[in-house]
């Protein structure tokens, strides 16, 4: 995860909070937040290699398929649930979001913006776009449900999720003027703090 | 690998969970590797119900390697070049520690059926005395599979300040109804053996071997996966010359009989009953009105809970329940499912993934 994304997430996570990171990868986000905010963090991951890395790094990790449902994490007193760059890989992203807001007071989501101008350019050229944050070909990617900034914000509004905070970053991971002004076109990534 | 096998005597009276008192007891203990000067490299390995102190390597007259030799040794998952590994035979066992085959100081006869009921807590408490005897201040890791995993869990919750990490492998926080049912069929087979004599068979100079054999045959089925049995034996017919008895048609029948026979030569029937009763009775949640996470709240150790895909005796989801309770109680804990195709017995066998997880956990 890049530094600016990390900085944004870090600023939204309260000190000593209980955090669950769905799709935690090698656990580096939990490690950072443990260091900076003293969180009690748990990661959920399905990849055996990444799980082994989490264990080696002393990260609490649970082997689980998020698509099988995450209701089991309800009622465990999580303050924050995080899904960083994974929501587009899920079979039912809307249900996952709903569940995340049930299991925790607040939810942080980061997602690649499919409305980003380079993606649009790619499609104009007649092909599925390949960009820095969507680097894989259509047949190799794990992404099932790509969406634009606009789509995501519409979903939140339809589902009754409150967007408490949002930030847009461009392809150089900067919060540039254009990314702020026309996020659906110029933001490569959106970062959201949601509540119900 | 430096192996040291010793019989350690504990002279003080020892009160059991049941309220009964032993006037003293002995533990047969193996240690592997060397304890460092600040005793920070000590690992306690707890054995499953039919296991014993001989976890790794070969000592003097040992014919085979220990039961967890694939995981313990120089350069292995539990590396004896770095760690001092302690494995005792549990109280109530039959491999050298005080148990039903020991002489009861009161009657000067073997305890037999009079040996008091022991529990997982009793084992942990006796291992605590062993820890003091060995001069260890804190376990770097307490680890075990199956009933051994229950002991690792119990260690972390009854002595939170004495355990850094606990590895709970192929275990559950309590035996299921099905587990208890299976165990009772096994126990009943033993009790119904005409040589059982209410457990006092040694005084009668006999043994309920047939009952114990049947019990082990049933047990053995529950340790293997359907897939593994199918692959290994299928419906292959047993060779006429090697049939154990005239009732055998299939290889699997012969195999179970052979295993049962061998086991009934070496294991004590009263120990079988005691160990399975300890397994059935373990239920830390019951101390907090059935609430496992409340029971786990005192834990300070970091937990690694491992389940195996093909284990149907203690299925992986039972391990997941332990991790969920730990997470509920804000205890640092991980849950991993490993492939392993040998059913419950998978915890005994090395795979690269298994070695990596255990080793990563120890080194973390």
A130-177 tens-digit pLDDT: 888 888 998 998 888 888 999 999 999 999 999 999 999 988 778 888
Q: Is residue A92 part of a domain?
A: yes
User: In terms of domains, do B242 and B93 share one?
Assistant: no
Please state the rounded mean pLDDT for residues B83-105.
97
Q: Is A72 on the interface with B (CB under 8 A)?
A: yes
Higher pLDDT, B83 or B105: B83
A54:B333 CB<8 A? no
Give the per-residue pLDDT at A178.
Answer: 82
Which of residues B276, B308, B335 is at a domain's end?
B276
- pLDDT tens per residue across span B201-246: 999 999 999 999 999 999 999 999 999 999 999 999 999 999 999 9
Q: What percent of chain A has pLDDT above 70?
A: 100
User: In terms of domains, do B122 and B262 share one?
Assistant: no
User: In terms of domains, do B211 and B350 share one?
Assistant: no
| Structural domain of B250 | 179-276
Q: Is A155 on the interface with B (CB under 8 A)?
A: no
Any idea what DSSP says for residue B168? E
Please state the rounded mean pLDDT for residues B330-354.
96
Encode burial over B84-104: b for 16+ CB neighbours within 10 A, e otherwise: bbbbbbbbbbbbbbbbbbbeb
B39: left (phi over 0), alpha (psi -120 to 50) or beta: left
Q: Say whether pLDDT at B349 is over 90.
A: yes
Helices marked H in B85-208: 120-133, 147-158, 177-191
Which of residues B232, B259, B276 is at a domain's end?
B276
User: In terms of domains, do B69 and B150 share one?
Assistant: yes
User: In terms of domains, do B28 and B104 share one?
Assistant: yes
User: In terms of domains, do B318 and B340 share one?
Assistant: yes
Rg (chain A; Cα; Å): 16
Domain of A46, CATH number, reads 3.40.50.150
Q: What percent of chain B has pLDDT above 90?
A: 98
Q: Is residue A131 part of a domain?
A: no
Using an 8 Å CB-CB cutoff, list chain A residues near B336.
Answer: 51, 55, 61, 63
Q: Is residue A123 part of a domain?
A: no
User: In terms of domains, do B111 and B39 share one?
Assistant: yes
Average pLDDT of chain A is 92
Cβ contact B120:B150 at 8 Å:
yes
The burial class, CB within 10 Å (0-12 / 13-18 / 19+), for A35 is exposed
B335:A58 CB<8 A? no
Which of residues B229, B245, B276 is at a domain's end?
B276
Neighbour tally for B19: CB within 10 Å: 8
Q: Is B302 on the interface with A (CB under 8 A)?
A: yes
Q: Is residue A135 part of a domain?
A: no
User: In terms of domains, do B107 and B35 share one?
Assistant: yes
B302:A58 CB<8 A? yes
Evaluate whether ipTM surpasses 0.90: yes
User: In terms of domains, do B92 and B114 share one?
Assistant: yes
Q: Which of B77, B336, B358 to mutate to test the interface with A (most CBs of A within 10 A)?
A: B336
Cα B200 → chain centroid: 24
User: In terms of domains, do B9 and B129 share one?
Assistant: yes
Please state the rounded mean pLDDT for residues A73-93.
92
Tokens describing residue B27: 């533990």
User: In terms of domains, do B285 and B209 share one?
Assistant: no
Tokens describing residue B269: 């029937």
Domain of B214, CATH number, reads 1.10.1740.110
Chain A: closest CA distance from residue B287 (Å):
21
Domain count along chain B: 2
- pLDDT tens per residue across span A27-63: 999 999 999 999 999 999 999 999 999 999 999 999 9
| Structural domain of A68 | 3-114+144-195
User: In terms of domains, do B14 and B148 share one?
Assistant: yes
Nearest CA in chain B to A74: B328
- pLDDT tens per residue across span B177-200: 999 999 999 999 999 999 999 999
Q: Say whether pLDDT at A1 is over 80.
A: no
Q: Is A49 on the interface with B (CB under 8 A)?
A: no
Please state the rounded mean pLDDT for residues A94-119.
92
Q: Is residue A88 part of a domain?
A: yes
Domain count along chain A: 1
Cβ contact B31:B86 at 8 Å:
yes
């Amino acid at each position: 995860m890049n530094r600016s994304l990390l900085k944004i997430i870090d600023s939204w996570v309260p000190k000593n909070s209980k955090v669950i990171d769905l799709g935690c990868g090698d656990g580096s986000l939990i490690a950072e937040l443990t260091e900076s905010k003293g969180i009690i963090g748990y990661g959920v991951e399905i990849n055996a290699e990444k799980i082994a890395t989490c264990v080696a790094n002393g990260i609490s990790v649970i082997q689980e398929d998020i698509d099988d449902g995450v209701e089991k994490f309800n009622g465990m007193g999580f303050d924050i649930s995080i899904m960083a760059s994974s929501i587009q890989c899920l079979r039912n992203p809307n249900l996952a979001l709903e569940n995340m807001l049930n299991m925790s007071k607040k939810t942080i989501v980061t997602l690649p913006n499919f409305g980003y101008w380079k993606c649009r350019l790619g499609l104009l050229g007649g092909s599925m776009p390949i960009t820095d944050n969507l680097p894989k070909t259509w047949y190799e990617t794990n992404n099932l449900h790509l969406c634009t900034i606009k789509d995501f914000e519409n979903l939140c509004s339809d589902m009754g999720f409150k967007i408490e905070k949002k930030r847009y970053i461009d392809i150089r991971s900067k919060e540039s003027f254009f990314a702020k002004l026309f996020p659906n076109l110029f933001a490569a990534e959106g970062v959201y703090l949601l509540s119900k | 690998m430096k192996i040291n096998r010793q019989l350690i005597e504990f002279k003080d009276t020892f009160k059991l969970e049941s309220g009964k008192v032993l006037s003293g007891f002995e533990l047969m203990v193996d240690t592997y590797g060397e304890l460092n000067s600040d005793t920070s490299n000590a690992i306690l390995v707890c054995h499953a119900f039919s296991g014993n102190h001989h976890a790794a390597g070969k000592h003097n007259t040992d014919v085979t390697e220990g039961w967890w030799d694939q995981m313990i040794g120089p350069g292995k998952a539990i590396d004896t070049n770095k760690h001092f590994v302690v494995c005792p035979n549990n109280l109530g066992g039959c491999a050298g520690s005080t148990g039903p085959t020991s002489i009861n100081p009161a009657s000067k006869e073997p305890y037999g059926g009079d040996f008091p009921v022991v529990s997982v807590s009793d084992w942990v408490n006796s291992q605590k005395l062993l820890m003091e005897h060995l001069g260890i201040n804190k376990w770097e890791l307490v680890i075990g599979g199956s009933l051994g995993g229950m002991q690792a869990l119990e260690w972390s919750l009854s002595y939170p300040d004495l355990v850094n990490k606990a590895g709970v492998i192929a275990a559950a926080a309590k035996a299921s109804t099905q587990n208890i049912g299976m165990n009772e069929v096994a126990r009943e087979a033993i009790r119904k053996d005409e040589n059982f004599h209410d457990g006092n068979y040694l005084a009668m100079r006999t043994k309920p071997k047939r009952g114990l054999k049947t019990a082990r045959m049933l047990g053995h089925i529950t340790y293997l996966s359907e897939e593994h049995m199918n692959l290994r034996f299928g419906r292959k017919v047993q060779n006429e010359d090697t049939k154990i008895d005239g009732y055998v048609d299939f290889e699997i029948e012969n195999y179970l009989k052979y295993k049962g026979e061998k086991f009934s030569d070496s294991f004590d029937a009263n120990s079988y009953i005691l160990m399975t009763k300890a397994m059935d009775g373990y239920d830390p949640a019951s101390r907090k009105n059935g609430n496992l996470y409340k029971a786990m709240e005192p834990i300070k150790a970091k937990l690694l809970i491992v389940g195996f895909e093909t284990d149907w005796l203690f299925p992986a989801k039972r391990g997941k329940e332990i991790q969920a309770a730990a997470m509920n109680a804000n205890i640092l804990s991980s849950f991993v499912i490993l492939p392993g195709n040998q059913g419950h017995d998978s915890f005994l066998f090395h795979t690269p993934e298994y070695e990596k997880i255990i080793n990563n956990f120890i080194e973390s």
